[in-house]
Amino acid sequence: MTASVTAGAARAGGAGLELARMLASFAWVFGATAVAIAALGALPGWITGDAGVVRRAATIEDAERRLGARVLVPGYFPSRLDWPPAEIRVAGGRHGSVHLALAARDGGPGVEVFQATGDDEPVAPQLLEDRTVLRSTRTALGSVPATISDVLVRGHPARELSWILHGRAMVLRSAGDVDELFRMARSAHREGGR
């Protein structure tokens, strides 16, 4: 009786040890595979650096998730412009910059919103694209200093209004009415989105 109990206990102990060995080996292989895959997935970002990459975002929320920051949009939104933005692009990884392209409903000139989400950071230059600044003039948005510039973007003339809002660099660009740019700029706030 005692011998059979001892043999049974030994068998159970052996089975338990084998089970533990099996699970430990499995955990090691699974973990190593997952880490290797994750490293391979992260490698392109490490090589290129997220800063150099411009990516499209499907929605404002998507852009905010990628940037890890809220995107500010103007409170005043002309009814001639279409919402949601026709194109949303982000660059610079976490706390990088965002570009919202707002198309006009009537086929007229649209408005582009650029902003850096990191404090004291400029808007990522790869979002502003290849533009030539022809002339810059100092101006003000209430008590906030701003700059209005005549620019050439891909050979087309446009106006850019740039200023700092709560430490963030903001740029509004349009080939249309400059007053509209000022009205939008004055209305920009943190809780925006429509």
Partner 1 sequence: MGPDGTKWAEIAAQAVFHTLVASLFVEALVRSWRVREPRQRMALRLVALGYPLVLFPALVLLFPARAGEDFRDGWALLAGVRWDEVRLLGVGLFRWWLGALVAAGVALFLLDLLPLLAARRRPAPVPCTPDEASAAALGDALPPLAAALGVRPPPVIFLDRVQPVLFCTGVRRHAIVISRGAVALLDPGELRAALAHELAHLARHDPAASWVVMGARALMAFNPAFQVLSRAIARDAEWLADERAALACGDRLALASGLIKLHRATAGGVPVRRTLPFAAALAGPLERARSLDVEVRCRRLLEGPPAPLPWGAARVALAAASLTALLFFVV
Binding site for partner 1 (CB under 8 A): 15, 18-19, 22, 25-26, 28-30, 32-34, 37-38, 40-41, 43-45, 47-48, 53, 55-58, 62, 65-66
Whole-number minimum distance, CB 58 to partner 1, in Å?
6
Q: Smaller CB distance to partner 1: residue 39 or 140?
A: 39
Of 156, 79, 149, 155, residue with least CA distance to 114: 149
Whole-number minimum distance, CB 170 to partner 1, in Å?
25
Alpha helices in 116-175 (DSSP H): 125-128
Whole-number minimum distance, CB 41 to partner 1, in Å?
3
| Residue 184, phi-psi category: left (phi > 0), alpha (psi -120 to 50), beta (remainder) | alpha
Q: And the tokens for 124?
A: 């990522």
Q: Smaller CB distance to partner 1: residue 67 or 111?
A: 67
Q: Smaller CB distance to partner 1: residue 66 or 99?
A: 66
Is residue 87 exposed (0-12), middle (13-18) or buried (19+ Cβ within 10 Å)? middle
Whole-number minimum distance, CB 75 to partner 1, in Å?
28
Whole-number minimum distance, CB 84 to partner 1, in Å?
15
Q: Smaller CB distance to partner 1: residue 52 or 167?
A: 52
Q: Smaller CB distance to partner 1: residue 42 or 133?
A: 42
- What is residue 62's DSSP assignment? H
Query: Which sign does the torsion angle of CA 22, 25, 29, 35 carry?
Result: positive
Name 1's Cβ contacts closer than 8 Å, sequence gap at least 6. none
